[in-house]
Amino acid sequence: MGAIVKQPRLIEGGIHTDLRGQISFVNGMVFEEIARFYIISNSEEHPLRAWQGHRIDNKYFYCVQGSIRVHFVKVDHWESPSKDLSVENVLLSANESKVLHIPEGYANAIESLEAGSKLISFSTLPLERTAEDDVRFPPEMWPIEYANGNSKF
């Protein structure tokens, strides 16, 4: 019997607006395994934060301001990964209430598409265990392309 292959997935939410204001929600998000969270806001000078790999940590990303594109690759070999891996991406926006779940075994890159964009990153691994999990790769490891086909690196 083969192992279950985990893949990134979107958890859909919604936005309710009435005369009192707005409520953004993601009722399908389960927090049982969440150990911590932090908020990411890239600088305008360096709107791309790439590449962070996670051997055992699961990440859940939720955009609370602006818009952010999250790029990700399934890492084939942690010590010497192929540079030809396929880069996928998902657009997250504060105007759409969605959570992107990236399971363990992936590297991700966070790209701010607007000044002031902010992303909440939920993590399943306690802070004291991050040293055994976190793997950094150079930004040019897996080129990210603009919509017009030009490479960012």
pTM of the model: 0.91
Q: Across the chain, what does the average pLDDT equal? A: 93
Here the tokens at position 4 are 């279950």
Per-residue model confidence as pLDDT tens digits over 77-127: 999 999 999 999 999 999 999 999 999 999 999 999 999 999 999 999 999
Report d(CA 108, CA 58) in Å as an integer: 11
Domains of the chain and any CATH numbers: 33-136 (2.60.120.10)
